[in-house]
Amino acid sequence: MSVNDGLARRMRLQRLHRHDDGRLLVVPLDHPVSNGPIVRDGQLDRLVGQIHHGGADAVVLHKGALRTVQPRWFRDMSLIVHLSAGTALAPDPDARHLVCTVEEALRLGAHGVSVHVNAGSRGEGRQIADLAAVAEACDRWGMPLLAMVYARGPGVDGRAPAVVAHLAALAAELGADLVKTVLPGAPQAIAAVTAACPIPVLAAGGALADGPDEALRRLDDAMQCGALGVAAGRLVFTAADPAAMVRRLTSLVHDRAQAPLQRAGDPR
């Protein structure tokens, strides 16, 4: 990595971590590729605008979605371009393939990129290799990398503390700057996972089987136990008022911070 590339990465990370508390609220909107439309009226730009007005720090989008989104939303909110894709219709719904490059994301104006890995799945080897290759490209181009890592193998408990700690370690060891994953339920287990991980851990919003209030409670627990942020998409785009939901999440992530945190690799 050249000196200039190192500066570029630090500048982009600093933009992403725009709050002094070092915490992040990321709203992933990569779901249409996996599961189908998330806005039935086709008005993705309106949804991104609501997310912006709610105070999110970043939004995750696939490259094609950017054609319908106004650039004004990214004057202060960061854009993360998702590089992985796979559908629920595939013979292996846990398979993920790279569909965009770091260079392409740079041309699109991205402030960061993200890659999805389903550890324990049949395609784990390919996905890990893809994550490592993207990490190398991010080093070359000075681009922050968010790894979205889940345990999706047969018989694997994706919330087991040892499994989650392994997922976070995988992301850090292969060069990610941030890791999003589903955290354990017990506060002590969450604290152990976040303490062992040298990069910021973002708590995944997860499914809404128990309703949004219960999802928010779990995310609040995660923040109080060492998570440095939240990455919640479904919780936002299924809400009757997405902007109001983002404001609740913004308060949960930023307003309840006890004191500024600093970790190894903190851009500040």
Q: Does the annotation mark 150 as catalytic?
A: yes
Q: Where are the alpha helices (DSSP H) in 142-255?
A: 161-173, 187-196, 212-224, 234-237, 242-250
**Dist. CA 156–CA 159, nearest whole Å:** 9
How would you class 202 by CB atoms within 10 Å of its CB: exposed for 0-12, middle for 13-18, buried for 19 or more?
A: buried
Catalytic residue among 62, 111, 180, 234: 180
**Dist. CA 112–CA 222, nearest whole Å:** 24
Secondary structure of residue 263 in the 3-state scheme: coil
Contact 229, 25 (CB under 8 A): yes
Catalytic residue among 60, 150, 192, 205: 150
- Hey, which residues are catalytic here? 150, 180
